[in-house]
Structure 1
Amino acid sequence: MKFARTLRRNSTEVEKRLWSILRDRRLAGHKFRRQVPIGPYVADFACFDARLVVELDGSQHLEDAARDTRRDAELARRGFEVLRVWNSEVSDNRDGVLDLIFDALSRRAAPPSSGLRPPSPIKGEGHAAPSELYEDKK
């Protein structure tokens, strides 16, 4: 969607600040995308594995709360939880914002996969029984 691309190119300073933390799986290994279309809307940040949207709100959102309510309802219908965070909170309480996002991720998603598989056993070696893995060291 062209509009989403334009929003990515014209990010606000607050969006850039939060994106620097969420990008590249930096927050507990969860993958976020920014300015991503979901249905008829463009989410500021979305983690599809957790079905979580993080919206940064400025003062313009005070003027049209009904629009945000409709938008949140549509995203919820599509299975997303929406976290709304004031722009000032990212600047004034960054750790609190990250805790809020992390808590929502913890509730909604399994731990992220590293994409790595454990090594195959060497030929002739099998898996140890659970009791052999946890020896009692007395």
Structure 2
Amino acid sequence: MPPPPIAPDGPGQVPYGYPGTAPSYGYPGPQQTPYVPYPTGNGYGWPVGMQLPASNGMGTASLVLGILSAVGFLMWPVALVLGILAVIFGGIGRGKAGRGEASNPGVALAGIICGAVGIVLVAVLFAFAIAANS
């Protein structure tokens, strides 16, 4: 089907999908060169100019373990281990946040505090148990 005739004052606005216009969504038109995909790298490494995503796992794990340690201090062996792990993971998370690898230094600090509270509660419970038996 031939295109419609051109008006005497010029073609005006070309309608969408008119033959010979720019391709839509990367599909070549009838008189365009074939689609050439965007060049990619060799598949190794991280693209230049892009930042790595934040690694917030240590701070989050610290907060979860710290809360479990503080809430479950009556199960003192488990709470003691969870509190120690919360303090360790919180320290690692704060270090990552300081280096810019993580974006949650407050969560890691809250994990350290909750873990320390859990450890203190276990120590107080243990001290009361020793005082009650003597």
On whether the aligned pair clears a TM of 0.5, the verdict is no
TM-score category, normalised to shorter length: under 0.3
Flag the structure with higher strand content: 1
State the TM-score, normalizing by the size of structure 1.
0.20
If each structure's helix is expressed as a fraction of its own residues, which one has the higher value?
2
Rg: which structure is higher? 2
| TM-score of the superposed pair, with normalisation by structure 2 | 0.20
